Amino acid sequence: MGSLIGSEGFVRDTYLDTARTVTDSTLCAAPRAEMLAWLAGDRAARALLDCVISTWCSDNPRRATADGSAPQRLAYWLLEGIERKPARSLPRAVIAGLLGMKPETLSRAVASLAKKGAVIANRQRIEIVDRALLRSIADSET
C-alpha cells in the first residue's frame, strides 16, 4: 500500500519485480515518457527522484544501508554516488532515509567525516575533499 509499483521504470528499461494484489486496489498508470515530461519542469524534484529510485532499484543490496558504523555507511554511499552529483546536495532527511538512519545520526556521521578531513559540509551540501581518506573510512573494520 502506498508504494510505486514499477517505479524502477524511471531509471531503467526493465522491471525487477512484478506484483499481484490480494485485496481491492486502485492503480494509477502513466507511461514513462509522460511521467518524465511531468518531472522535467522541476529539475530538483527530478534529481531527487532519480537518486531515490536508483537506490531502491539497485540489483544488489547496498553496503551503505546494510553494515558498518554511520560514518562508514555515509562514506561508502558518498563514494558510491560520485557520479550522481545532485545526491550530495539532497536534503539530509532524504539521505538519512536512504541510508536507513535517523537525521541526527546522519548529522553526527557528517560531522565525524568533516572532523577527519574527508568532507566539507554545510546545511545544503556535502563535498568530498579527500577520496582516499573517505575510502579508508568506508573500508575500515571498526
Mean of per-residue pLDDT scores for the chain: 75
| pLDDT range class, residue 98, cuts 50, 70, 90 | confident
Q: Which pLDDT value is given to residue 61?
A: 44
**Bridge partners, residue 127, by sequence:** 120
Q: Which residue would you say has higher pLDDT here, 46 or 3?
A: 46
**Bridge partners, residue 116, by sequence:** none
Across 24-28, 88-92, 104-108, least confident range: 88-92
**Bridge partners, residue 120, by sequence:** 127
Q: Which pLDDT value is given to residue 99?
A: 81
Residues contacting residue 85 through CB under 8 Å, at least 6 positions apart: none
Average the pLDDT over 76-93 and give the result: 69
User: Would you tell me how many other CB atoms lie within 10 Å of the CB of residue 113?
Assistant: 27
pTM of the model: 0.58
Q: Quick one: cell of 43?
A: 529539475
| pLDDT range class, residue 54, cuts 50, 70, 90 | low
Q: Which pLDDT value is given to residue 24?
A: 82
* CATH class given for the domain over 63-139: mainly alpha
Q: pLDDT tens digits, residue range 105-134?
A: 999 999 999 999 999 998 878 889 999 999
What is the domain partition of the chain in residue ranges? 7-42, 63-139
